[in-house]
Amino acid sequence: MKQDDQGIYEYLRHHKKFPHVWCAGCGIGIVMGSLLRSIRNLELGRDDVAIISGIGCAGRMPVYMDFNTLHTTHGRALAFATGLKLARPDMEVIVVMGDGDALAIGGNHFIHAARRNIDLTAVIVNNSIYGMTGGQSSPTTPLGAFSATAPYRHIEQPFPICQLAIAAGASFVARGTVYHVTELDRLLEQAIQKRGFAVVEAVSYCYTTFGRANKMRSPVEMMRLLKENSITVQAAQKMEKLPDGAIVRGVLHNEDKPEYTELYDQIIEQAHGQPSPRKRQVRRGWA
């Protein structure tokens, strides 16, 4: 198990873009390190990797990484990535999003990318809050928590990201945490290698906003919670009932099914050079 971070130094735009924008002790940097190690371990060429993100603290990740990087609009990263992947099916396209980015404003794109089973790797940094805008509620804010827009307490149910991804049709779904870094490296490696839509929920924390609003003021304290509250898939399977707030880590779903860009290549093969098929006559509705 390699943990030498010297090897990922070359993947950083170190002389151009540091220091980074994140609060000292934020988990996002840990996810970035994990992602870089997994790319290195898979020996992917830097020119063959595209990192696409939306808007938010997590969305700032690509600027520091020396690949083809596209920082898009809030929530739309997967839709941009879909276009790029269709144009360059040979490229490894990795999409990094915050929980709000992926599931609130981008929720529709998320389920449809999963449904199409297009070969993208979606990394969702779940810190249960809108970090960048100052700690407002997100679709993963737990019931009863406090946030800048839930000053009395949050009264909405959080999205179970992984279940949502499985139900929507993703090929590979896994959850890791920023405490269990080596495991996160392995999960990301598997996700990147998967042909099809692969989701990794990287459970992180935002001590600056969520922590402050919920009486957890230090990164260390929040890290400890990740350690104490999480269990492996294997352990979870043996339990009759999961404890409240348990974070189940590991590969939750892994299935082989037809991938979108491969299917489209078959369409091209079928249509290429053929006469145009007769337009199917359908009754026309208007709207």
Partner 1 sequence: MTIQLLQGNHACARGALTAGCRFYAGYPITPSSEIAEIMARELPRVGGKFIQMEDEIASMAAVIGASVGGLKAMTATSGPGFSLMQENIGYAIVAEIPCVVVNVMRVGPSTGIATHPSQADVMQARWGTHGDHPIIALAPGSVLEAFELTVKAFNFAEKYRTPVLVMMDEVVGHMREKVDLPDAGSVEIVNREMPSVPPEWYEPFGNPPSDVPPLAPFGEGYRYHITGMLHDPRGFPTERLDEIQPWIERIFRKIDRHLDEICMWEEDSVEDARVLIIAYGATARSARQAIKIARARYGRKVGLLRLKTLWPFPEEAVERAAEDVQRVIVAEMNLGQMALEVERVVGRKKVVRVGRADGQMVTPEQIVDAIRAPQPQAVSLRVAVPW
Ligand X SMILES: Cc1ncc(C[n+]2csc(CCOP(=O)(O)OP(=O)(O)O)c2C)c(N)n1
Q: Judged by CB under 8 A, how many residues of this single chain contact partner 1?
A: 46
Using rule CB under 6 A, residue 207 touches ligand SF4 = yes
Nearer to partner 1, 83 or 243 (CB): 83
Which span (124-132, 195-203, 217-225, 278-286) binds ligand X, by CB under 6 A?
124-132
Using rule CB under 8 A, residue 76 touches partner 1 = yes
Site for partner 1 in 28-47 (CB under 8 A): 46-47
Which span (81-89, 205-213, 222-230, 241-249) binds partner 1, by CB under 8 A?
81-89
- Shortest Cβ distance from residue 95 to ligand SF4 (Å)? 18
Site for ligand X in 57-76 (CB under 6 A): 57-58, 74
Site for partner 1 in 144-163 (CB under 8 A): none
Residue 177's DSSP bridge partners are: 203
- Shortest Cβ distance from residue 170 to partner 1 (Å)? 15
Using rule CB under 6 A, residue 128 touches ligand SF4 = no
Please report, as ranges, the residues that interact with ligand SF4 according to CB under 6 A: 22-23, 26, 28, 57, 127, 131-132, 206-209
